[in-house]
Structures are given as structure tokens and as C-alpha cells.
Amino acid sequence: MSSVTLRLPVRLTVALGAVTLLAACGGSTTPADDSASPSGPPTIVAAFYPLAYAAEQVVGPDATVINLTPPGAEAHDLELTPQQVAQIADADLVLYIPGFQPAVDEAVQQQAGDRALNVTEAIELLPAEDHGDGHTHDALDGDPHVWLNPLNMATIGDEIAARLTPNASIAAAAEKGAADLRASMEALNDEWAAGTAACTIRDLVVSHEAFGYLAAAYGFIQVGVAGISPEAEPSPARLAEVAKFVRDNGITTIYYETLVDPKVAETLAAETGAATAVLDPLEGLPEGYVGDYVTVMQDNLAQVRAGQGCT
């Protein structure tokens, strides 16, 4: 009697197991489809401020945007914490510029896979000049400072929105956010174009060559004391060359940057009789600053108008 009692549950268990297995196999396409078309709010990790700003304008409150570079930090020097590496690994989208932050490049290569977006892919790069300091950002094969042309920021916004299109929960909002960002950047571009149209001094002497895209957009010629990297020390020969250029061409202002030691610009200004002024490369915001990309660019415009003889 007991043997019969035992056999029946065993048979029933096997049968139920088979039904469960068949049901699981038959429904296996549904989870795969869900993972291919994500519907939850995404998390976007941005390597530094301008990319975070672009992402925030595109997604608004419909996603989480994490900026890896804290306010007041020099973006080139960023070293990632284990928590930040984990954020890159877990993100739905990682925004970066290869060659600009080596620590981010390494983490992206190891952790991000096809979730990484090189935001310069749709932008024509300017060459990165080398003044003998060995810093040319070879990983990008061009000047990485694309965000200093507002129209490039609009393109970055479009690229972010395109990558978010498969996410049904945010696609429409991202498309609108990118369009709004483009409108804002076009208005800022118009402001810069009008404000610099009548400048009498077209050579823009800067402590390091972060402003190539801005110069090219508004009819200036960038003259860098140092090359692409703000940490690179210019050679005595380069200092003498730029000092002669300043004297020979009636340059009245030498620009130095926020977040970087101004000693090179101050030394050159003292030698030539020129003034110094701040031109912000927008790699990050100072701690406590309450403005944003647009207000910094408007402050930059005011500095350029004052220093370049604009009427």
C-alpha cells in the first residue's frame, strides 16, 4: 500500500516538472524582447561637466545623470574610485571623449562595452597641435575640446537622444529635450557671433590650447602658450616665441583658465605689458558656482569682448 502511495506523487511531480519546463521554453522570447527594448528610466554616466549638462538637458527628470568629475576638480586629472567604476559598469549609457581622461578610457574599455558613447563621433575634429610638450591626446587623434562650440553641444545632445530611442519610457522626452537643447545652443551661437563680429584683435592668446573650436567658430586664431594639456610646461623657447608674437601683434590680453595655475599667463603678461583675464574652458564648474554651461559661455563672451577690442 505504501509503495503505491509513493509512486503516484513521483509521477505527478515528473509530469508537473515537464509542464513547467515546456511553459518556460515556450515563454522564453518575452524576457529577451524586454531586455532588447528597455522600458525603465535609464542611468547615464558622464565623464565630466559639459557631457553631464548635455545629458541633463536631453533627459530632464526622466533619468539619473551622474557626473564622474566633481565640481572644482581638474577633469584631465580624474582618478576613479571603485564606486565610480561600478557606476560605469551598471550604467545604461556612458558618455566620454577618448583620450581626454585616461582613467575613464580604461574603465570604459573594461566595463562599458557597447553602452559607451564617444560623443565626438558625429563632430569633425580639429588637429591637436604639439608644442614639444608631448601632450597631443593621441587616443582621439584630434583636439578633444569640442564642447566649446555651442553647435557641437547641440550635436552631442542629438547623439544622446538617438542612443536613448530604444527606451520606450524616455524616447519622446529625449527627442524633445535634444530639440530644446539645440534651440538653446543655436541662440547662444547667435549671441557669440553677433558679440564678436566687430572685434579688432583676432588673435586669441591663451595659456593652453583648449579654445580651438571656439576660435574657429567666431573668426579668431588661437595662439597657445602651451599645447593641449593644461599641465604641460611650455619651453623657454615657446615662451619667448609667444612673447614676441604678443608684442608684434598688439595683443592686449592673455587668457588663463579657472581650475589651473595662472602663473604662465601672468609671467608672460608681466614680460609683455599685456593684461590677463579668465577664459573658462568649461571642463568643470568651480565649487559653489550657481550657473551652468550657458552662463559660463556668456561670461566668456564678455571677457573676449573686453580683451579683443570688440565694439
Q: Which superfamily does CATH assign the domain made up of 43-193 to?
A: Nitrogenase molybdenum iron protein domain (3.40.50.1980)
Distances (CA, A) of 91 to 88, 111, 155: 5, 10, 22
Separation between Cα atoms, residue 253 and residue 275, nearest integer Å: 5
Ranges of CATH 3.40.50.1980 domains, the chain? 43-193, 197-307
Separation between Cα atoms, residue 212 and residue 64, nearest integer Å: 32
Q: Lowest-confidence range among 15-24, 55-64, 236-245, 294-303?
A: 15-24
* pLDDT more than 70, % of the chain: 82
Q: Kindly state the average pLDDT of the residues 86-109.
A: 97
Please enumerate in sequence order all residues whose Cβ is within 8 A of that of 173, keeping only pairs 6 or more positions apart, or say none: 59, 60, 62
Backbone angles phi, psi at 103, to 5 degrees: -65, -40
Please enumerate in sequence order all residues whose Cβ is within 8 A of that of 31, keeping only pairs 6 or more positions apart, or say none: none
Separation between Cα atoms, residue 150 and residue 169, nearest integer Å: 28
Question: What single string gives the DSSP state of each residue in 75-144?
Answer: GGG----HHHHHHHHH-SEEEE-TTT-HHHHHHIIIIIGGGEEETTTTSPPPP----SSS---TTTTS--
Instruction: Please write the tens of the pLDDT for every residue from 71-85.
Output: 999 998 999 999 999
Instruction: Please write the tens of the pLDDT for every residue from 25-52.
Output: 333 322 333 333 456 789 999 999 999 9
Q: Lowest-confidence range among 15-29, 139-153, 167-181, 187-201?
A: 15-29
Instruction: Please write the tens of the pLDDT for every residue from 173-224.
Output: 999 999 999 999 999 999 999 999 999 999 999 998 999 999 999 999 999 9
Instruction: Provide the 3-class DSSP secondary structure of residue 190.
Output: helix
**Can you give the pLDDT at residue 230?**
59
Banded model confidence at residue 70, pLDDT cuts 50, 70, 90: very high
The burial class, CB within 10 Å (0-12 / 13-18 / 19+), for 53 is buried
Separation between Cα atoms, residue 61 and residue 69, nearest integer Å: 20
Mean pLDDT (the chain, rounded): 86
Q: Please indicate, yes or no, whether the overall pTM of this predicted structure exceeds 0.75.
A: yes
Angle, CA 146 vertex, CA 141 and CA 152 arms, to 5°: 130
Please enumerate in sequence order all residues whose Cβ is within 8 A of that of 61, keeping only pairs 6 or more positions apart, or say none: none
Closest CA to 230 of 49, 52, 74, 72: 74
**Can you give the pLDDT at residue 38?**
57
Exposure string (b/e) for 69-103, b if CB count within 10 Å is 16 or more?
A: beeebbbbebebeeebbebbeebbbbbbbbbbbee
**Can you give the pLDDT at residue 261?**
83
- Is the separation of the CB atoms in 191 and 299 below 8 Å? no
Question: What single string gives the DSSP state of each residue in 232-297?
Answer: PPPPHHHHHHHHHHHHHTT--EEEE-TTS--HHHHHHHHHHT-EEEE----SSPPTT----HHHHH
Architecture per CATH, domain 197-307, reads as 3-Layer(aba) Sandwich (3.40)
